[in-house]
């Protein structure tokens, strides 16, 4: 079975860039969800307070 490192090396630069972009988006989403959970505030409420649309 191929390792993730090998599979990524076989992808085009454009594909790797898209994967990195999506990975960063997912990390931000997870961070936001965790922060909301910690302070017991719904995401939509926190985003509204922060002025995010």
Residue 13 has pLDDT above 90, yes or no: yes
pTM over 0.95? The answer is no
pLDDT value of position 46: 84
Q: Where is pLDDT greater, at 41 or 15? A: 15
* Rama region for 41: left / alpha / beta (φ>0; ψ in -120 to 50; rest): beta
Between the alpha carbon of residue 3 and those of residues 13, 15, 16, 24, 31, the distances in Å are: 18, 17, 15, 21, 27
Looking at residue 47, its pLDDT comes to 84
Domain definitions of the chain by residue range: 12-50
pLDDT digit string (tens) for 30-53? Answer: 998 999 899 998 988 888 988 987
């Amino acid at each position: 079975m191929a390792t993730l490192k090998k599979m990524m090396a076989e992808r085009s630069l454009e594909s790797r860039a898209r994967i990195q972009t999506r990975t960063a988006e997912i990390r931000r989403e997870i961070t936001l969800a965790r922060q909301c959970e910690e302070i017991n505030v719904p995401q939509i409420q926190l985003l509204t307070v922060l002025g995010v649309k």
